[in-house]
A and B are shown apart, each in its own frame.
Chain A
Amino acid sequence: MSALAPTVLQEPGAGHVLPWEWGVALMLGFGLAWIALGVLWGRKAKSMDDFTVAGRNVGLGMGTATAAATWITSNTVVLAPVFALKWGIGGMLAYSSACLGLLFFAPMAQRIRKLMPRGYTAVQFMRMRFGKDAGMLFLCISLLYGFAWLVTMAMAGGVVLEALSGVPYIWGVGVVVSVCVLYTLFGGMYAVIGTDSIQSLIVLVGIVLVAVFVLREVPIAEIHGTLAERRPALLSWVLPVTLMAFFNNLLFGFGEVFHSNVWWCRALAMRDGVGPKAYALAALVWLPVPIVAGFLGLAAPALDVPVANPSAVGPLVAAHMLGTFGGVLVFVVVFCSIASSIDSLLAATSDLLIHDVSALREKARKPPSEAQLRWRMRLSIILLGLGAFLVSAPHWANLEEILFLSGGLVGSAIPPILAGLFGKRLNGQGAVLAMFFGSTVGVIVWFHHWYLGALVGTAVSGLLVLLWQRFDPSEFSGLPDPAQETA
């Protein structure tokens, strides 16, 4: 299976844009700054609500910034150029369709806030709405997806930092993960949202600067002419593979956002009425990023950039064209975009571990105190970081294939989530059946075509939800108060 083949590595020390020392200095400089900000913002977190959902008082500006920053991730900066390099213009468009995930989460955010004003996690909703079995299966899907995302971002950090400056892969992974673990540990959700706002600003300004400089250096007409002559298929808007990847990527984006606690905990952290506007604005802010990043991948063959590893093509092209300044710019953009997502994921996944895994285990016993919960949260953040580092260390597969392995899983969760939030007719058995068979078929398909798992997983799950509601409908009466469920 190609997903298990080792990624082609760049030769150590060969052809790097930045000196090794610069890479180390930039990593340490930004790392220490994020940790200091985490400690500073962490002082605001007095209670568990402060630590996990930032006091449920996040406004529109911060809400938009944190949603945009979290969605601008290694997936965007690193994988959008890979899609463009492999599949051309059609691939770039397929990748950009992921913005619809954020856009359509806007109405969901409002409903989540209404149904669970004192809730904490997506799994908590599924458990209360569909019962323990569905909650357990959904928790497994969430944890698998969260961990796959965490690992791909840690890997992306290592790959890109090595390609730009020659910092050994394992160091890049270690520093990126350690920095994020440390500031999330100190500041919780306050630190995550605070650093996200700065990181999103840096990433957006950086991407705009890269685009302006690249277009000044190389005219689009020249790139088009060279591609038409040497790599004509990259100029195709429609290819069979991009036709399949378009809706797969769109549905993967839906599944990622709709099911993940990263987005649910933000919806619960925002003030009433803020969520829909913040998510819609964040989608618009995000949209140009994969297009600019994808353009870099498209430009690589026209500019004779020696791409040894497709995963590093975007940063390599920018740095190749813009020299040392471009190298620094891209280094900072990538470091910020990866950090802004890893911290969110650490916080949201540790939420799942302490609220949902513990809730299932200890329901019959005395509930843990707030101090115990905070201690457990910190421990789970450290363990998640350590786990991500250990799994990323061997550098064992292609980023996009690992990430899209979870496509079938998250896609299968979309129909039950929608049926649960907006309807009364789907019961727990139907939800379990849809998620189980959707995930299974999606993962099997992934082994044959990694870019089809989400599409098939969603379609199978959707069909089962429709059939189950038709032949075994039920009438759900309402959720208990989430605060009583966890307390």
Chain B
Amino acid sequence: MFRLAVLVLAVFTSVAIPAQEAGFALGDASPAEGHAVLRWSKVEGVLRYEILDADGARMVAGPHTSFFVSGLRPGAHRFRLLGLDAAGEEVFRSEELEFVVTEPDWGKGWSLFGVGGVTTLLIILALLSGSRRPAWGEVA
């Protein structure tokens, strides 16, 4: 009820509302890989939503209620959600939502790359050397 009241208030006054009140939140976030889904709730009277980055640049616009963001470098990234009406007027603007991308684990990456490389090499060698030998048990 409180959330509805805040949203209604926001629609009529076009004030900044807390991110969680717009339902603006992170989903399926992978901080080590630098991608996440930004989700929000549908707001009555809003036809188009926009996501702005920390510099205020528009990242995406559309009628959807979620947006997949990827390719972010390690560090804190902030997003803001805007709701626009049929005339393109701003109806509400959320507070900033923060997504912290962590430093990836290079040691683990290279070790598993090594394991994969050795395994693959052994498989290819077994395949190539085996296919050169005559087949056993060939049915006459």
Please report A residues at the B interface, Cβ cutoff 8 Å: 2, 5, 8, 10-11, 14-15, 85-88, 104, 107-108, 110-111, 114-118, 227, 230-235, 239-241, 243-244, 246-248, 250-251, 254, 301, 304-310, 313, 398, 414-415, 418-419, 421-424, 452, 455-456, 458-459, 462, 476-479, 481-482
Contact = CB atoms under 8 A, between A and B. Distances in A.
A-B pairs, top 10 by smallest CB distance, nearest first, are A247-B116, A422-B130, A478-B137, A240-B109, A231-B71, A234-B71, A306-B62, A107-B131, A243-B109, A14-B63
B32 to A, nearest CB: 7
A349 to B, nearest CB: 25
B39 A476 contact: no
Interface residues of B, number: 55
A117 B139 contact: yes
Best-surrounded residue of B28, B37, B53, B123 (most CB of chain A within 10 A): B123
B126 A241 contact: no
A418 B112 contact: no
22 contacts: A8-B28, A8-B66, A10-B64, A11-B42, A11-B63, A86-B70, A87-B33, A88-B70, A88-B71, A108-B127, A116-B139, A118-B139, A230-B59, A232-B73, A243-B109, A250-B120, A251-B120, A309-B68, A459-B116, A476-B136, A478-B138, A481-B139
Interface stretch (B3-11, B14-22, B85-93, B100-108): B100-108
A15 B71 contact: no
Best-surrounded residue of B28, B32, B65, B70 (most CB of chain A within 10 A): B70
B39 A8 contact: yes
A5 B27 contact: yes
A231 B65 CA distance: 21
A79 to B, nearest CB: 14
Interface string B113-128: 1011101101110111
A416 to B, nearest CB: 11
Interface of B: 27-28, 32-35, 37, 39, 42, 53, 57-73, 104-106, 108-110, 112-113, 115-117, 119-120, 122-124, 126-131, 133, 135-139
Given A115-B139, A231-B72, A307-B67, A422 B126 contact: yes
A233 B73 contact: yes
Contacts of B63: 11, 14-15
Contacts of A398: 28
Chain B at the A interface: mostly helix, strand, loop or mixed?
mixed
Chain A at the B interface: mostly helix, strand, loop or mixed?
helix
A247 B112 CA distance: 9
A149 B128 CA distance: 28
B10 to A, nearest CB: 20
B139 to A, nearest CB: 6
A419 B133 CA distance: 13
B113 A247 contact: yes
A479 to B, nearest CB: 5
Contacts of A251: 116, 119-120, 123
B105 A247 contact: no
Best-surrounded residue of A227, A305, A422, A455 (most CB of chain B within 10 A): A422
Contacts of B127: 104, 107-108, 418, 422
Contacts of B60: 304-307
Contacts of B117: 247
B33 A241 contact: yes
Given A231-B72, A423-B130, A476-B136, A455 B109 contact: no
A301 B71 contact: yes
Contacts of A306: 60-62, 64, 67
A462 B125 CA distance: 13
A458 B34 CA distance: 28
A421 B129 CA distance: 12
B27 A85 contact: no
A87 B110 CA distance: 16
Best-surrounded residue of A11, A87, A240 (most CB of chain B within 10 A): A240
Contacts of B119: 247, 251, 455, 458-459, 462
